[in-house]
Every structure is written in C-alpha cells, then in structure tokens.
Amino acid sequence: MIKKFKIKHLFQLLLLVIVATVIVDVIRISKYEDIPARPSEGISIKNNQLQYDLANGVDEIDWTQLDGALEWILNEYDCSDFRLINLVRILYEAGDQIPESYREEIEQVLFNFRWWWDDPGENSMCYWTENHQILFASAEYLVGQMYPNTVFSNSGLTGKQHMAKAKKRALDWLEMRWNYGFSEFYSSYYHEDVAALINIIDFADDEELLIKSRMIMDMLFYDIATQNINGMFVSTSARAHAAGRKGGPGSTLGGITRYYWGDGKALNEGKVYGMMTTQNYNLPPVLIEIAKDSSEVIIKQSNGLNISELKSEGYYGTDNRSMMMQWGMGAFTHPEVVRNSLAQIRKCNMFSNDFLKGFKTVDYTLIDWLHLEPAIFRALNPQTNGAAIQEGNTYTLKNKDYTLYTAQSYHPGTYGGQHHISGMNIKNHFSIFHNHPAFEKQSEQGYWRGYGHIPHSAQHKNVNLSIYNIPEKKAMMEVALLDYTHAYFPSELFDSVYIDQNYVFGKKGETYCAFIGANDFKYRDGTNDDIIQKGKQTFWITEAGSLTEDGSFETFMQRIQNNKVSFNAETLELNYQSNNAAYDLKFGADFSIDGKVIDTNYNRYDSPYAKAKKKDKTLTFEFNGKSLFLDFENLIRR
C-alpha cells in the first residue's frame, strides 16, 4: 500500500515538473524577438558606384553615396556583408580621401558591428551559406588589420583579436574548398566568393592567407572555365535562381567571363570591381585556354560532402569549423544535424533571426533533455530537409554547339532546395531544363527555382534520362504537391520548335535538342516557354544534337522518333536506345549503358585538364601547352 502511494505521488510530482517546465518554456519562448531581415522601406545603396568613381579618378566625389550602405550595415540587415565589400576597398584604396565626418561614421558602424554569429547581439543576417562565410571573414580580417589596437565596442575585442578570429575561419573555409570543392557548386554565388577573395588577395598582410586565397580563386575560375560555353556560365548547380537556369546574354557572372575570355569588356561598378583594380591576382593563362576550348570534352567532378560523411571527415561537432560545414550545406533541420543547430542557436541568441525563428517551435527543455529532435524531424520530414546541399557528382559534355550537364543520381525523390539537377545550354543563347515545381505558378521563384521532388537523373554523353516519382499524398509539412512536371523551352528564342504528342524538338542555329516524355506535352495556357507534362510517375529524356553530328534538323527529329523507348511506371524503369547505345535507368538504383552499370561517384577532378582525388596534396591543371601547379600545404603556386 505504501509502495503504491509513493509511486502515485512520484508520478504526480513528475507530471507537475513536466507541466511546470513546459509553462516556463512557453513563457520564455513567447519573449523571443522577431528581428526583420530587411528594412520596411527601401534604402538606396550606392557605395559600389562610389568605389568605382574613386578607382577611376572622378573629380567630384559624392560622399553621400555612402549613406545607404552605412545605414544598412548599422542596422545589420541581411546581406550587410555585400555592402562591406566595397566599403573595405574604399578604406584601403582611398582612405586618405575620406572626409573626417564620414570616417568617424564608418568607424562607429564597423566597431559596433556583429561580425559573426558568436559575437554579442542579435540580428537577422545570414552568416552561414558558403559565400556569406568568406565574405564576413574577409571583411572582419581586413577591418581588424586596419585598426589592430582599437577595442571594438560591440565585442570588446581588439582589431588584432578580430583578425585572429577571422583568419581561423577564412583558413578553415579555404581548406574545405581545397579538399572538397564548393558546396554551392557552379553557382552564381561564385560572384560573391570572388569579391571576398580578391579583397584578401589585395589587402591582407598574411602570406598564408594571401597565397591560399589565390589558389582557391584559381580553382573557382577552373569551375567557371569548364562550365561556360562562349562566355555563358550555366550548369548543374547546388544553388541557382531562375535566371541562372534559363541562361542568356546576361549569364556572364557579372561580366567576368566576358572580361577574361570574351570580348574583354571591362567590368562595371559592383561587388567584383576589385578584379579591375587588383595588382595581386593574374588569372593563370591555362584557365583562359580551358575556357576557350571548343573541342568536345567530358568533365566529371565531385563537389562537396554528403551528410553521412560529416562524422568521418571531422565536421560533426558544434565547434565553429564543423558548424560552418554543416550550415554551409544548409543542413539545419536534417536529423543528423538538428541538435547541433539548436545548440548553436541557443548559444548564440539566434532565435530572433528571421531565417531561424522556426526553431522556436522545438525549443523545449524536455525535447532537449530527451534528445527527441532527430526523431521529431525525421517524422515530420519538413521540406527544409531538402535545402541541404550534399555531394554533387557532376557530369558535363561540352562542345562548340552545346553543353549538357547533370548532377548524377543526386538523392532521387527527396525534396529539393535551390538545386539545378540537369539542363542543356543551347550554345550561349539560352538554356533548357525540366523540374517538378515546389509551388504553383503564382510563386515564380518556387515554380522555376526549386524542386518539389528531385528526379533520378543520369547522363552519358549527349543523353540524359530523368525519372520522377512524385508521391500520391502530400507529406505532413509539405506546402504543395503538384501532379505535373514542366520544362523551360522558350519557343520565341528558337528558330524552330516542333511538338508531336510526347516529343518536343528545338533548333537554334546549328544546335538541336529534344525532350521525350511519358505523357503528352503542351505549353501552359498563356505561355510560350513553359511545357507541361501531367503525371506523377513520369520521365523526361533529353538528347542533344547538332548539324555536325546529325546533319539536318529533320534527320535529327526522325532519328529520335525512331528510337526505342519503354517505361514501367510501377517499377520505375526507363529504357532508351539511341545511336547504337542502350540506356537503362531504374529509380533509386542503377544506371547502365549496354548492360554495364555506370559508376557515377567521381574523383575530385576527372577531365582532360585535371585529374585528382579528394584531399590530394597537389593539383595540376594543364592544357594547350600551359599549366598551373598548386601545393596548398606548402604554399606553392606555379
């Protein structure tokens, strides 16, 4: 009887503790502030123009062009690091010209700034994507170097101490790129990486930081060189906006490809204008030769890490280096990472951050004590899990007429973020691609930019096979589940377009392309660039061709329509025969050519220009009698 009494009261006491803990948590969580990431009204940002004017010796300098950038940085709005790029260049290139009143204002803003997520304060800046990481580190290091003995009022650290913090992060970032490549592979965000690196290269006094930054800049430009066609930089990518998928004359990475191996047109004012004024970085001639190569080449490459590799590679903890890798991959809510995310958010007061405020819903003491977060996020499977950027084994076929590119067998069926899995460049005119939209048409970015569900996509030479397996029912936290896939195929940009049931063909100059689907194609009502294919278990076959390879466009179309195609919607097996080759793809399983399974896990570099494994100590790029040798550890760049 006494034992039962004690158990009953113990249970009541436990229940009381649980209820009290939850109540305390609810009150605490309700007090978290929501800080806006952007201003409520527009702010005119003109500091890039100011830096351009100073660099080009304009007689009348309008210093009020700094006002907007300083207001933005003072309020720590998101992308403040973008505004810091040319503010730092102004300090270093034209510091003696800055009026005293503006110098005082600049210093007040910089000394009170929250330079990293572990500094005091709260804001809604994104510190964590790959490009933001190096932008913040670059700016913090260089500002600290300029004011080494000044105590920064927000952090209480001296400039020299800020230099030490930023140098560690920058070197960690550079080492990650050397070992694994860019997690944001082939992305337009390379533009921001260039801006951060050129500032380090031009102004840092540290030899190790300087030389390693040059090497990673070389590797970045190698990526740009191999994935561009006549100056248009579009490829499979971990992060691509709609414009970066569709291609066109503006897809030159802010004019970089035009300047270095196009018509030589100088860059305009902007984040990477430092490339015009730099005295410390010369693009290696071999990379220019590679960019201009018009022969047919196949470029295979491994970029980034899988979440399953974090532990073995030493990036599994909550230390700063590990969190840079995990959050740089966008793996915040992934069951393997979510406890680390919450620990970091708690430690650094980041529940007020507009990008992270959703984590408040699981910031309960009992969930933390019982380590329930992985189970909760595994069960809920939110679409944010699909934002995680994992290893991309990329395959690109490039010739004078087109490029066809794919992230091979990239996590089929999972949610997608800003991934661009596959596509084709029609010379340097524009691109075509297909995807499963994450949202309906009214959300333009979600419609063209991301995936609801990623296909199993695989390529060999000029043929890509992609199978979509869209679930029958929407998941618990899925925003939308559309029952169709679609393609960007702009009829007004082609010379000729021909649709015949589940075939669509396009011709532009001497370049040909074809899509084959499981079901009939039709342009979405009111559009001439958006081809819809209904169905949840479907496929898209892409085949590229040209006048050189196929003769006339009519011959190309006839050949494609005579090719054998079979698809089993239940087993999700696709078979295609073209040009005496038999292609077989099974969703979530093997990709085979003529019965031989194709290994789509690649070395770090595998192309006619470079061959290397992940974490090799040295790299050599060679082509057309020119070469570049890099030894990261021993700081040799030859």
CA distance 342 to 454: 27
pLDDT at 617 over 90: yes
In whole angstroms, give the CA distance from residue 185 to residue 464: 20
Q: Tell me what pLDDT residue 442 has.
A: 66
* 301 Rama sector, left if φ>0, alpha if ψ -120 to 50, beta otherwise: beta
186 within 8 A of 225, measured Cβ to Cβ: no
Q: What pLDDT was estimated at residue 384?
A: 85
**Main-chain phi, psi angles of 460, to 5 degrees:** -140, 120
Q: Is 629 left (phi over 0), alpha (psi -120 to 50) or beta?
A: beta
pLDDT at 163: 98
β partners of residue 506: 497, 513
Mean pLDDT of the chain: 95
pLDDT band of residue 559 (cuts 50, 70, 90) is very high
Instruction: Judge whether residue 443 has pLDDT over 90.
Output: no
Do the Cβ atoms of 550 and 557 come closer than 8 Å? no
The whole-number pLDDT of residue 478 equals 87
CA distance 97 to 60: 12
At 8 the pLDDT is 77
Is residue 252 within 8 A of residue 233, CB to CB? The reply is yes
Confidence at residue 13, expressed as pLDDT on a 0 to 100 scale = 81
For 22-36, write each residue's pLDDT tens digit: 898 899 999 999 999
Mean pLDDT of 97-105: 97
pLDDT band at 5 (very low <50, low <70, confident <90, very high): low
Amino acid in the structure at residue 440? E
Confidence of residue 12 (pLDDT cuts 50, 70, 90): confident
Q: Select from 94, 127, 91 the least CA-distant residue to 109.
A: 91
* pLDDT > 90: percent of the chain: 91
> Does the pLDDT value for residue 496 go beyond 80?
yes
Give residue 262's pLDDT band: very low, low, confident or very high (50, 70, 90). very high
Average pLDDT over residues 364-371: 94
pLDDT confidence band for 47 (50 / 70 / 90)? very high
Question: What's the distance, Cα to Cα, between the start and end of the chain in Å?
Answer: 85
- In the numeric block, the tokens 């890798």 are attached to 325
C-alpha 334/C-alpha 325 separation (Å) is 13
The three-state (H, E, C) secondary structure of 332-389, written as one string: CCCCCCHHHHHHHHHHCCCCCECCCHHHHHHCCHHHHHCCCHHHHHHHHCCHHHHHCC
Q: What is the pTM of this model?
A: 0.96
Averaged over 589-606, what is the pLDDT? 98
Euclidean distance between CA atoms 421 and 454, whole angstroms: 8
Which pLDDT does position 11 carry in this prediction? 80
Q: With bands split at pLDDT 50, 70 and 90, how would you rate the model's confidence at 445?
A: low
Residue 188: closest CA among 235, 231, 136, 230: 235
Q: Is 444 a residue whose pLDDT tops 70?
A: no
Q: What pLDDT is recorded for position 73?
A: 98
Which of 387, 422, 631, 430 lies closest to 541 in space, CA to CA?
422
Q: Which H or E element spans position 597? A: strand 596-597
Token look-up 């760049």 returns 637
State the pLDDT at residue 432: 98
**CA atoms in the 13 A half-sphere facing the CB of 224:** 30
Average pLDDT over residues 52-58: 96
